[in-house]
Amino acid sequence: MLSDEDKKDVIENKSNYSLKEIKEKLSVICFDKRVNFSRERQNDFEDDKKEDVTTTFSMTEKSVPDWVKEVEAVQNNI
C-alpha cells in the first residue's frame, strides 16, 4: 500500500529506529496518504470469489499413461 519512496527513510534507517518508532513513522505515512485498509481487504476477498473456476480434463485412450491403465485394470477386477 506504500511505495518504496514512502518507506525509503524507514528502510534506510531501520537500524537506528526502534520497532515502536518504525510503526509510528509508517502509521503517519499511511494516515497522510489516507490508506484505507478495509477497502483493500474487501477487494482481496472479492477477487478470491471471482477466481472460482471449474476446470475439466478429458483423456483419450492414446494419452493415458500405462500406470493409469494398470490402476484401472486392478480397479475393474475388484
Per-residue pLDDT tens digits for 20-75:
999 999 999 888 888 887 755 555 555 556 667 788 877 666 778 888 888 989 99
Distance CA 2, CA 35 (A): 8
**According to the model, what pLDDT value does residue 55 have?**
82
Residue 4 has pLDDT above 60, yes or no: yes
Per-residue pLDDT tens digits for 34-49:
888 775 555 555 555 6
Distance CA 17, CA 14 (A): 5
SS (H, E, C) 2-71: CCHHHHHHHHHCCCCCCHHHHHHHHHHHHHHHCCCHHHHHHHHHHHHHHCCCCCCCCCCHHHCCHHHHHH
Q: Would you say 2 and 33 are in contact if contact means Cβ atoms under 8 Å apart?
A: yes
